[in-house]
Amino acid sequence: MVYLLVLFVYPIFSTLLLSLKDADGSFTLHWYADALTGVNRSVLFTTLRISAETAALSLVFGFVLAQAISRLKPLWAGLAMLVVVVPHFVSALVRTYGWIIMLGDKGLVNETLAWAPGAPYQLLYNELGVVIGTTSMMLPYTVLLLYGVMRGVDRRLLAAASSMGAGKVTIFRRIYLPLVAPGLASAGLLSFILSLGYYITPALMGGPNQTMIATLINQQVTKENQWNGAAAQGVILLVLTLAGLLLVKAVTSLGASRKKRSAT
């Protein structure tokens, strides 16, 4: 435990201190002012935008896939879960490289779509490429989370509503959706948070307009020796993440109380 205090808490603490220190060691907020203006501000917005797009897409895909898997027979469901889980343990770098091969001008996707008008499509080094990449990285998380939530839904509630004459759409909207909504919210938030600090995929699959905050931190440290600025951006990233985590926690406790209420 002391280990984590020394090598995890202390470094983050010193990052915080560094972000507040001026060149002569006095207290300053100007690194934060720098981080929130000009180019840095637009990078921050790009980060939020790409993370939101990623979260939305991985939520939709995750919902459909988890839905389909939860209706499969155990053997098939197990195989499908294997396809979801195994990529998660393959290095993100390697999977990103796989996407670069697939999305190139002569890649699998463009070769398959060669008949379509306007082909080959530009699928790399733009925002589309980045979002495809990050979505595939976040998808295992949302599928696993939503699958767990869907398995936890009490089928008797749906049957009860149906026996009282509710139609499919009504059941879905009034019973099923409210029960899985907290799970959807936390899955979406989680993939948003995880995308915020992402670096590999945006750096390799994006263009200059897709620079994300993590890329900037890396550049400032390794190329410009601008540690204070990097520290300030790190702290901003950390605060955003913690805010997201608090939201996840709030949503989870809301979900737990809702489930209890519906079961009584």
Partner 1 sequence: MMELRKSLAGRIALTAVATVILLFLALPIVVILVTSFSNNAFASFPPEAWTLNWYKALFADGSKWPAALSLSALVAALSTVFSLIIGVTAATALVRSELPLRSAVFALVLGPLVIPQIVTALGLFLLFEPAAMLGSPIAIALGHTVLASPIAVLILIATLRGIDERLEDAAASMGAGRLTIARKITFPLAAPGMIAAAIFSFITSFDEFYISQFLSSVDTVTLPVQVYNSLTFEIDPSVTAVSAILIAFAILALGLVALVRWIGSGRQQSLLSVENTVGVANPGGEAV
Binders of partner 1 in range 79-108 (CB under 8 A):
80, 83-87, 89-102, 104-108
Q: Which stretch binds partner 1 (CB under 8 A): 20-28, 38-46, 158-166, 256-264?
A: 158-166
160: number of Cβ within 10 Å: 13
Minimum CB separation of residue 144 from partner 1 in Å reads 12
Instruction: Return the number of the residue (56 or 80) whose C-beta is nearest partner 1.
Output: 80
Minimum CB separation of residue 171 from partner 1 in Å reads 6
Binders of partner 1 in range 204-263 (CB under 8 A):
204, 214, 217-218, 221-222, 227, 230-231, 234, 237-238, 241, 245
SS (H, E, C) 179-203: HHHHHHHHHHHHHHHHHHCCCHHHH
Structure token pair of residue 228: 């204070």
Instruction: Return the number of the residue (44 or 200) whose C-beta is nearest partner 1.
Output: 200
Binders of partner 1 in range 101-140 (CB under 8 A):
101-102, 104-108, 111, 136, 139-140
Instruction: Return the number of the residue (111 or 224) whose C-beta is nearest partner 1.
Output: 111
Under 8 Å between Cβ of 122 and 103: no
149 binds partner 1 (CB under 8 A): no
Q: Which stretch binds partner 1 (CB under 8 A): 5-13, 25-33, 48-56, 181-189?
A: 5-13
Question: CA 159 → CA 148, 165, 185, 264, distances in Å?
Answer: 20, 10, 25, 16
Minimum CB separation of residue 123 from partner 1 in Å reads 11
Structure token pair of residue 234: 């790190």
Under 8 Å between Cβ of 185 and 258: no
Structure token pair of residue 223: 């190329």
Instruction: Please choose, from the candidates 108, 133, 136, 131, the residue with its C-alpha nearest in 3D space to the C-alpha of residue 121.
Output: 108
Structure token pair of residue 192: 């948003």
Mask: binding to partner 1, 25-54, rule CB under 8 A, as x and -?
------------------------------
| Helix ranges restricted to H, 104-176 | 108-112, 127-151, 155-163, 168-170
The DSSP secondary-structure symbol of 21 reads: B
Under 8 Å between Cβ of 184 and 146: yes
Mask: binding to partner 1, 61-80, rule CB under 8 A, as x and -?
x--xx-xxxxx--------x
Question: Amino acid identity, residue 18?
Answer: L
In this chain, which of 20, 56, 113, 203 binds partner 1, going by CB under 8 A? 203
Mask: binding to partner 1, 160-199, rule CB under 8 A, as x and -?
--x-----x--xx---x----------------x--xx-x
